[in-house]
Amino acid sequence: MHEITLCQRALELIEQQASAYGAKRVTAVWIKIGAFSCVETSALSFCFDLVCRGTIAEGCKLHLEEQEAECWCEHCQQYVTLLTHRVRRLSAMS
């Protein structure tokens, strides 16, 4: 479960930026999650709330944006947009 580590690092960045701008409280954070990042958004949300307890970001709203991946399909000879890392090879395309 690498979500906790991601949240800890995100909090470090949040605290650095808050300090640089003199913020006393953080009310919202936006994070983009790539299609191939293997991050479970529900686990990330849970870990984020846990990591932020007792900090400047406690209770802030976490906005998660899932970002698509664009891949080239040799068979179709075109770009394909993927929303998830769960891709299966289709034997019918061989």
Quote the DSSP letter at residue 53.
T
SS3 state at 15? helix
pLDDT of residue 93: 47
pLDDT of residue 84: 63
pLDDT of residue 81: 81
pLDDT of residue 1: 60
pLDDT of residue 92: 45
List of domains in the chain = 3-67 (3.30.2320.50)
pLDDT of residue 35: 81
Cα–Cα distances in angstroms (integers) from residue 7 to residues 3, 24, 40, 41, in the given order: 6, 20, 12, 11
pLDDT along the chain (94 residues), means of 10: 92 98 97 88 96 97 89 85 60 44
Q: pTM above 0.85? A: no
